[in-house]
């Protein structure tokens, strides 16, 4: 059966639902489902997703979505399809840009605004410390001291392990449950489930309906879907052939497939973490 709604795990699909100006109500609702009651977002403004270093020699960062709320707090929202080398280091590196950009000249007192790094991960972590963590969907990380007390509470990493989300429609209880169910199953819906009976999700389904795309949007979605499928095929083949012994080898195979499929250099860099020189050398 032909899909009625887009695949939100594609680059185009994710940004269509959450990264457009008209998508702000959806992104605000999603963020508020993640954040505690005292940190709720009322307004958002999108910022430049390409972050440059201080010199031409510095490495830059390109986010999927980068925005700021009415209090000046920064939000990086990333969709990550495949595990890559030094994934955690990459997200820590990304967090340095919204921190550094807050620096003011003159007598600045270093009073920073909060930064949130949110990762929607279509893979599982492989470094669990307890058995229970293997089944957790949401991982919240902050800087704490040796007694478990917060040392600095303005830098928060929120990782959503999507393969661990297995709730059925009749088991959904929270707003976050609804959003994760929406993301996980959107491409399979042929009609809107009764659980999504409010205006925010009505807008989300309208934006996600493929029949509403113009010719240019349709071309962009088809290209993005091809990249997503190629990436999946490479990962599946790597597992079946026993190639997963080396993370570096797997990353290069993914990059090769994306390059062969005509994916843009920046998209390959974002998906694999390889440098432009490494990609061009493949």
**Can you give the pLDDT at residue 252?**
80
The answer to whether 273 and 84 are in contact (CB under 8 A) is yes
The lowest-confidence range among 66-75, 89-98, 100-109 is: 100-109
The values of phi and psi at residue 174, to 5°, are -110, 170
Dist. CA 276–CA 88, nearest whole Å: 20
**Weakest-pLDDT range from 66-70, 78-82, 109-113, 211-215:** 78-82
Residue 115: CA count within 13 A, CB half-sphere: 20
Q: What is the dihedral of CA 7, 12, 17, 20, to 10 degrees?
A: -170
Per DSSP, 164 falls in state G
Convert the pLDDT of each residue in 9-44 to its tens digit.
Answer: 999 999 999 999 999 999 999 999 999 999 999 999
Single pTM value for the model = 0.80
Q: Residues 191-247: pLDDT tens digits?
A: 999 999 999 999 999 999 999 999 999 999 999 998 888 877 766 665 555 544 566
Residue 81: CB atoms within 10 Å: 22
- Of 80, 45, 42, the residue nearest 66 (C-alpha): 45
**Average pLDDT rounded to a whole number, residues 100-114:** 86
State what percent of residues in the chain have pLDDT above 90: 57
Higher-confidence residue of 147 and 263: namely: 147
The tokens describing 213, both together, are: 């795309």
Largest CA distance in the chain: 63
Residues facing 46 on adjacent strands: 67
């Amino acid at each position: 059966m032909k899909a009625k709604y887009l695949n939100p795990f594609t680059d185009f699909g994710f940004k269509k639902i959450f990264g457009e100006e008209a998508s702000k109500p959806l992104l605000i609702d999603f963020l508020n489902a993640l954040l505690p009651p005292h940190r709720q977002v009322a307004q958002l403004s999108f910022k430049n997703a390409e972050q440059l270093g201080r010199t031409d020699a510095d490495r830059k960062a390109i986010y999927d979505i980068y925005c700021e709320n009415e209090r000046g707090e920064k939000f990086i929202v990333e969709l990550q399809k495949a595990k890559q080398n030094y994934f955690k280091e990459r997200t820590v590196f990304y967090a340095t840009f919204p921190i550094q950009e807050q620096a003011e000249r003159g007598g600045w007192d270093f009073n920073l605004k909060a930064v949130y790094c949110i990762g929607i991960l279509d893979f599982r972590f492989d470094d669990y410390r307890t058995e229970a963590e293997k089944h957790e969907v949401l991982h919240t990380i902050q800087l704490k001291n040796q007694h478990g007390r917060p040392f600095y509470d303005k830098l928060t990493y929120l990782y959503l392990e999507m393969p661990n989300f297995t709730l059925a429609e009749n088991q959904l209880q929270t707003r976050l449950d609804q959003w994760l169910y929406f993301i996980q199953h959107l491409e399979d819906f042929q009609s809107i489930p009764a659980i999504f009976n409010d205006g925010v999700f009505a807008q989300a389904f309208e934006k996600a309906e493929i029949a509403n795309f113009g010719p240019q949007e349709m071309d962009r979605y088809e290209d993005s879907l091809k990249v997503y499928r190629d990436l999946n095929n490479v990962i599946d083949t790597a597992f079946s052939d026993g190639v997963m012994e080396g993370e570096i080898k797997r990353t290069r195979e993914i990059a090769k497939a994306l390059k062969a499929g005509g994916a843009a250099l920046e998209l390959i860099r974002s998906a694999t973490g390889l440098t432009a020189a490494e990609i061009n050398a493949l």
